Structure 1
Amino acid sequence: MVVGVAAPVVWAGGGAENAIVIIDPTNPASLYVGNYYVQARNIPPQNILYLSPQAASFAAFAGFQKEALLGTAGNRAILEHIDFVVIAPHGAFYVPARDLVSDGCSSVTRFSASSAFTMSFIAEDVLRGASSSTRRNHYFSVTAPQAFDSSIRFRNGTGSRADDAERYFIGALLGYDGERGNTIEETIAMIDRAVAADGTHPDGTFYYMKTTDPLRSGPRENNFSRAIEMILELGGQAEQIDDVLPLGRHDGLGVMTGWASPDIDGGDFTLLPGAMGDHLTSYAATFDTSGQTKLSRWIVKGAAGSYGTVEEPCNYPGKFPHPFFHVWYYAGLTLGEAGLRSLGYVPFQVLSYGDPLTQPFAYLPMVTVPDFPEETVSGTIALTPEATTDRPNGAIAGFDLLVGGVLHGQAGPGESLLLDTTALPDGPNDVRVIAYETGTVRNQGRFLGTLNVSNSGKIIGLSLSPRTGDRSSILLATIDGGGGPVREVRLMHNERVLASGTGFPMLAAFRAEALGAGVSRVYAVADYLDGSSALSSAREVTIDYANPPSTQPDTAPPVAYGYTRRVPRNRPILVELPAFDPDDPNLTYEIIAPPAQAAIEGGGLSRLLKPNPAARGADAFTFRAFGNGTASNVATVTLEYGAYVPCEEIDKYKTRCRNNKVKVVVIFSTYDNETARLAVAVDGVQHTADVVNRKAKLILSNQPLGDHVVELLDPPNCREPAVVTCGG
């Protein structure tokens, strides 16, 4: 059987495709660690956002960072499968949040940097100020492990459609490089250990420490025995020791203790790669006070992650990882999933620290695609994936096909995936086939390939010189190509524009500091006048962290680059202001003429564009850069909005399945929306239908038996996802 969609959407199990990485483009440490993590985890370029995670208040965070995350991911068509928000070090570990959450013991004035993103879907409710610090985390459970999925609303540990069910992300701060945090080298070493640990099933012991401190040991120790029993039942090893640390033990898979200032650095014990350690105390993640041992010491000791609070939380058990953390971790969940599933309350003050994708106890499926083409392809092709798992009595549930980070289809075991390559740019396209297991843990494995496409005969090439350097280096890019006249050529790094032009050859200089230290992949994109587009192969650049750039005597004005930014779902989206100055690395920017149908917020080289509710068609704004006090040219950023229809103009919305045909019908109340295009996702794959005579109709034939999830994407936020059943 050959299908485009063959299984309900199950985005879970914790892989690179499920993570967004947030990097501060103005922070050298953030760029370096972010680049390293992206390379180590093979995060898709579409999953990287460049913005400062810092905010003056949680209200400011909700208006900028949260909107940038949800809107940009939505416009890139990846939001539906993003579960983790991984934050590179950026000089902050909390967001001010005074007078939003009540607590009968101690005032809540801070949210952790990770939890601010975790709460993205409930941010507006939190801002109403009616939450208690004991507000239930609905993903929490002591019943069974359950793979996390941000597209699911949880209630009492399971998916639910109840009004009080809630959605979350799993936020995590990779490291804090300020005082009492971790050095860049320590964070990078942690990333190496975490990645190497995945799927290794290390032999060792989980240690539960019962100390003589009733305030810090007492909240959790009553659940130690049951957690140990469950780990033993799963075939693992766990032990309770009446001490602060497991001294003399060198097989630590995890340590859970309660003590204000344990001597983690000096203790004679060893943590194995992938371990989690925490010590329930008030100031473990309060880096701006010297009191008590910081969770950063667990990372130095060898842990992949830890948990602690960013201010005095009082010792409510629900504010700290439950002893079942290690049970869920050993069952195969990622560190981030096990962490959030073990926190009884919404983690307002709790900092998730380390690599949340770590999964040493996962059974990672082995995936192949025997018919993956080595030759150049065109038209529609079929891919038939195969996968196996080493899990005892395990089985493969299905496969997801991603191209350029975007979901293009799903299939069950033994089925093939159809891919219409005419919807892709010519050139090398990144293809990922993800296999996921049956059961509740949903571990993933993946096939990675490059699909060379040629439907329009377009070919472009990119050369860079030099390919190595330090932070003061200046690189020169040359882009050449053929296949007809071009409208725009862009030099790209992780979905952000570095430079642009309007023809071949295009030459552009840019600073290594713009990429950041570490290994980066730079590529080119060309849009042609005939409506086609093409990609170049990516080129790796390796930049040393040494020799930061400094301002030199002025020899030439800056050059600012305009480009086209598509806003297909009319949600907020990040826009960059690319510019280059050979003498001044510290450019400033000015918006000259704002867009007519949107507002622009923020400062620096990364801004947030917020379209008006009725924005559609074409728009533009202009900007210029200043270096050494000299102004650049005025550059134009052209905006292309998707067809948007206000929710109130929807008169009827129907979806059903009959005779194995999924049918979606939307009828509008006016004729004002003629030629607009409706966007609907069925099982996570987007389809479109034109509006004709007030009606848009989509019919998908030959759908498999069973449930299918139907979501109205454009117009957005108008209807909740619906489930229709074929053959029921």
Structure 2
Amino acid sequence: MVMPSSAEQAKQLTGNNVLILFKQNDSLSRKIADYYAQKRDVPKSQLVGIKLSKLNNSTISPSQFADIQQQIKPYLTDNIKVLLLTWHAPYRVGCMSITSAFSLGYDEKYCSHNKKNLSGCHVTANSPFFNAKPQQLWQSDSIRLSMMLSGRRFEDAKELIDRGIKADNSQPNGEAYLVRTQDAQRSTRWRMFKKFADIWPEQKGINIHYIDDHLRINGTSIKDKNNILFYLTGYTQVPDIKTNHYLPGAIADHLTSTGGAGISSQGQMKAFRWLEAGVTGSYGTVIEPCNYPQKFPNAQILIPSYVDGDTLIEAYWKSVQQPGEGLFVGEPLACPWCH
């Protein structure tokens, strides 16, 4: 029997593979970084304070981002596969999300609106990690996945980290809700949802519920549900999310224009509301992406990748074809189905 080489084998991410970036002169950012490092056994040498001239700006320029890249360059050793940002602002670099800028490099080909396309709706370049094989992360020195982990209070971030750790190897049984709402503009993923629900047999105790409420006048509410592991929908404001019980490691997101644009309660519902409701990972765009489904997580890739043993960050990144404008938030190493 011929065994695969180490380069061919998929490995499991650990704290040794994480570089934590915190904001200097920001006590909350540093406190979250320290707690994560302690709980996930991240070496102290892999905590890096970032100098930012204006700590709380939502957007930084490409030149400011280039300066940050130079600051962290000495720490990007071969073992580093995950960049974890312990802040919630800045969340955007020029026309890209900051997590995608760290992972893909700042490049306007990942933006709808750039020098070639100043207005209108446009697709962007694809991610090299889209639907990637498990070993690809380890075979490429250029791929590092990025995620933001923060909260309005330290307690919010602490509970999120604890949920991620509790998820590890829990082998949960639970529910997945894939919801088509009456908001047609934000339900463009519904065909993917329906197809996946039709072809997915019950595996590892995951029950898929495709909810089609596009003709419902009074709106859609997934309320008072238990043991949720996945909840994907499309709305500007998703109602009743705090009435549900989410299992550790749960993933949820909603297709809308600016779900990744910060942590405030103003405007469209932010991805951070999912985390506050008890979810472990979420996603939202930081700038108008238009409603291309390929700019948002694809359940047909996300769910199988996660239940096959990927960490949360791997499964989430794999599932988005064009993530240039999208922000990934949550606890990256959560791994409910680790082998």
TM superposition score category, shorter chain reference: 0.7 to 0.9
What aligned pairs does 1:228-239 form with structure 2 within 5 A after superposition? 228=197, 229-230=199-200, 232-233=202-203, 236-239=206-209
Q: 1:45 to 1:257 in 2, by over 3 A?
A: same
Equivalent of 2:190 in 208, 212, 221: 221
Distance 1:290 1:241 in 2: 28
Q: How far apart are the structure 1 equivalents of 2:7 and 2:260?
A: 40
For residue 197 of structure 1, report the CA deviation from its aligned partner: 0.9
Q: CA RMSD, aligned part only?
A: 2.8
Cα shift at 1:125: 8.1
Alpha carbons 1:12, 1:148 under 8 Å: kept: no
What's 1:263 paired with? 239
Indicate the SS of the match to 1:49: strand
| Counterpart amino acid of residue 73 in structure 1 | Y
- For residue 126 of structure 1, report the CA deviation from its aligned partner: 7.2
Given candidates 89, 93, 115, the residue that maps to 2:100 is 115
Q: Do the aligned partners of residues 129 and 59 (structure 1) sit closer, same or farther apart at CA in structure 2, a change above 3 Å counting?
A: farther
CA deviation map 1:482-502 (0-9, x unaligned): xxxxxxxxxxxxxxxxxxxxx
Q: CA deviation at 1:151?
A: 4.8
1:173 aligns with 2:148: yes
Q: Structure 1 residue 203 and structure 2 residue 173: aligned?
A: yes
Judge conservation of contact 2:260–2:327 (CA < 8 Å) in 1.
yes
C-alpha distance after superposition, 1:76-95 (max 9, x if no partner): xxx22211100111642222
Rounded to whole Å, the distance in 2 between the matches of 1:168 and 1:8 is 15
Q: Could you tell me which runs of 5 or more consecutive residues in structure 1 were left unpaired when the two chains were aligned.
A: 1-5, 98-109, 154-166, 364-728
- The question of 1:67 aligning with 2:74 is answered no
The separation in 1 between residues aligned to 2:295 and 2:108, in whole angstroms, is 22
Structure 2 equivalent of residue 138 of structure 1: 128
The alpha-carbon deviation at position 236 of structure 1 amounts to: 2.8
Distance 1:170 1:302 in 2: 23
Residues 1:49 and 2:48 aligned together: yes
- CA gap of 1:331–1:145, structure 2 versus 1, over 3 A, is farther
Judged with a 3 Å threshold, the aligned counterparts in structure 2 of structure 1 residues 255 and 125 are, in CA distance, closer, same or farther, namely closer
Native 8 Å contact 2:123 2:292 kept in 1: no
CA deviation map 1:259-300 (0-9, x unaligned):
11112455x321111101111111212236822212111111
What residue is the counterpart of 2:18 in the other structure? 19
Write the mapping of 1:137-536 to structure 2, written as runs, cut at 5 A. Answer: 137-141=127-131, 146-149=134-137, 151-152=139-140, 167-175=142-150, 177=151, 182-217=152-187, 219-228=188-197, 229-230=199-200, 232-233=202-203, 236-243=206-213, 244-266=220-242, 268-287=243-262, 290-324=266-300, 325-345=302-322, 347-363=323-339
For 1:67, the aligned partner's letter is Q
The question of whether the paired residues in 2 share the 8 Å contact of 1:197 and 1:360 is answered with yes
The answer (yes or no) to whether the contact 2:7–2:135 under 8 Å persists in 1 is no
Q: CA deviation at 1:318?
A: 1.4
Return the alpha-carbon distance in structure 2 between the equivalents of residues 233 and 305 of structure 1.
21
- Equivalenced residue count is 315
Indicate if the aligned counterparts of 1:147 and 1:333 stay in contact, CA closer than 8 A.
no
Task: Classify the secondary structure of the residue corresponding to 2:99.
Answer: helix
Q: Are the equivalent residues in 1 in contact too, given 2:88–2:149 (CA < 8 A)?
A: no
The residue number in structure 1 matching 2:86 is: 88
Query: Would you say the 8 A contact 1:206–1:254 is kept in 2?
Result: yes
2:169 is aligned with what amino acid? G
Distance 1:360 1:147, change over 3 A: farther
Query: Is contact 1:275–1:304 with CA below 8 Å preserved after alignment?
Result: yes
Q: Deviations over 1:93-118 (max 9, x none)?
A: 222x1xxxxxxxxxxxx322212211
Residues 651-707 of structure 1, C-alpha deviation per residue, up to 9 Å, x if partnerless?
Answer: xxxxxxxxxxxxxxxxxxxxxxxxxxxxxxxxxxxxxxxxxxxxxxxxxxxxxxxxx
For 1:116, give the aligned amino acid. Answer: A
Identity over the aligned pairs, expressed in percent?
28
Equivalents in 2 of 1:223, 1:9: separation in Å? Answer: 31
In structure 1, C-alpha distance between the alignment counterparts of 2:338 and 2:309, rounded to whole Å = 4
TM norm structure 1: 0.40
- What displacement does 1:9 show? 7.4
- For structure 2, the 5+ residue unaligned runs are 214-219
**Distance between the aligned counterparts of 1:205 and 1:289, measured in 2?**
28
Q: Is the 8 A contact 2:23 2:50 kept in 1?
A: yes
Contact 1:82 1:150 survives alignment (8 Å): no
Distance 1:83 1:238 in 2: 31
Displacement after TM superposition at 1:327 (Å): 2.1
Residue 350 and residue 231 in structure 1: after superposition, are their counterparts in 2 closer, same or farther (change >3 A)?
Answer: farther
Q: In structure 1, the residue corresponding to 2:28 is in which secondary structure?
A: helix
| One-letter code aligned to 1:136 | N
Offset at residue 133 of structure 1 (A): 4.7
* Structure number with bigger Rg: 1
**Matched residue type, 1:327:** P
Q: Which has the higher strand share?
A: 1
- 2:110 touches 2:324 (CA, 8 Å); kept in 1? no
Kindly tell me: are residues 186 and 290 of structure 1, through their superposed partners in 2, closer, same or farther at Cα, counting changes over 3 Å? Answer: same
